[in-house]
Amino acid sequence: MTWQCDVPHISESSTLMWIKETDQTSNTTLMYNNSAYIILHNVDENSEGIYYCILQEDGRTTTIINRTLSVTQYSESKKLTIYRQSSNDSDLLLICKSKKKYHRLMWTFESRPNSKATLIAVEKGGEVQVKGPIEPGVKTSTTYDSQIFVLHISSVEFKNSGTYRCIVDDQNSFYTVTILRTIRVSAEPPGGVVRNQSVVLTCEVSSVSDSVKLVWFRMQKNRTVLIKQQKPYEKKKLLTVIVNSLQSDLLHWQCAVFSENTLRAVAPITISLISSATNTPKISTEASTSPNQEDTLTPESHIQTVILVAFAVTIIVLILLKRPEEEAAPPLIKSFQSDIITQPSDD
């Protein structure tokens, strides 16, 4: 269920929003240009009531329009198309409620044509049998009281897109049909981005038709700024936008799905800004094994090498010049020692 509220002009300090007369129900809101949208999720008897679109401006509150929601008690012969974001916080309640009592009911799922699989089934007075392949949520019916049979999908996944049917008694009799289309958003690289780094945001919908359009918005305070949208002739399942230099005011984004100019779903995403890591250059303690080590010598190292070589040559020359004197020394020492030994004592 989606409603739209429009005003001819709105100032920067003003707010256009939807409120409910009594307790709020699960909903998503979007404010763009001079319009405010509200999407009601999992509509049931608790969603009934009066909804007001109000404009808050200069301390005054003005009611623009109001809408009254009445919920049909039974879901017979209903065929709906709904959208859900693929996330841990997104859930779906499929309700099969009838005034007639049936002996047997089941919920089936088709991800593609001719791929029907039974999710849950029950017979009057018995317990619900879980068949798969989608695990039911905690709000799924555990028994059947001949009136209401609920299938709950918690943490909606992208692959949950498809057709859901409530089938009664005869397997060819469809009591209610719900077509689910899923939407997901992602950021690359994931897990956090350094300031001034580039980020690629991707929005993808499970299936498209001629009337479906994807739009990327950037959140700016209490309203949105349109960044990119699909062209009318495009029929792609995804839309990407590149943030070339991430800053702290560019962290909050929303991808919106419009069908026949009506807002169908909004998928928010927040980019995590992380501090830049300091990369210290690695200093190798191993000797170089490069065969062309000489090619990497600097002029200063060449000068040092020449000086060392010259110094080594000088030492060698001095040793060679001094060596004859050292070789002649032993006979003189021997003669002197002989004279000392043969000299007679005065005593």
pLDDT in tens, 9-19: 888 888 899 99
Question: In this prediction, what percent of the chain has a pLDDT beyond 90?
Answer: 39
What average pLDDT does this structure show over 242-270?
Answer: 90
Last residue of a domain, which of 163, 181, 199?
A: 181
Whether residue 108 sits in one domain with residue 29: no
Across the chain, what does the average pLDDT equal?
Answer: 78
Terminal-to-terminal C-alpha distance of the chain: 140
Residue 135 lies inside a defined structural domain of this protein = yes
Domain hosting residue 113, numbered range: 78-181
**Higher confidence at residue 337 or residue 116?**
116
Residue 163 lies inside a defined structural domain of this protein = yes
The Cα angle at residue 266 between residues 196 and 59, in degrees rounded to 5: 85
**Higher confidence at residue 140 or residue 339?**
140
Which residues, other chains included, contact 265 with Cβ-Cβ below 8 Å and sequence gap of 6+?
28, 39, 83, 84, 85, 183, 256, 257
Whether residue 173 sits in one domain with residue 108: yes
Residue 61 lies inside a defined structural domain of this protein = yes
Confidence of residue 210 (pLDDT cuts 50, 70, 90): low
What average pLDDT does this structure show over 282-289?
Answer: 32
What average pLDDT does this structure show over 313-328?
Answer: 40
Query: pTM of the entire structure?
Result: 0.72
Confidence of residue 321 (pLDDT cuts 50, 70, 90): very low
Residue 28 lies inside a defined structural domain of this protein = yes
338 pLDDT exceeds 70?
no
What is the tens place of the pLDDT at every residue in 102-148? 888 999 999 988 899 999 999 887 889 999 889 999 999 998 877 78
Whether residue 149 sits in one domain with residue 121: yes
Which residues lie across from 252 on neighbouring strands? 270
Residue 343 lies inside a defined structural domain of this protein = no
**Overall number of domains in the chain:** 3
Residue 128 lies inside a defined structural domain of this protein = yes
Residue 287 lies inside a defined structural domain of this protein = no
What average pLDDT does this structure show over 1-9?
Answer: 91
Last residue of a domain, which of 276, 306, 335?
A: 276
Question: In this prediction, what percent of the chain has a pLDDT beyond 70?
Answer: 77
Last residue of a domain, which of 234, 255, 276?
A: 276
What average pLDDT does this structure show over 139-167?
Answer: 91
Q: What is the DSSP string of 293-311?
A: GGGG--HHHHHHHHHHHHH
The enclosing domain of 253 has a CATH number of 2.60.40.10
245 pLDDT exceeds 60?
yes
What average pLDDT does this structure show over 252-266?
Answer: 91
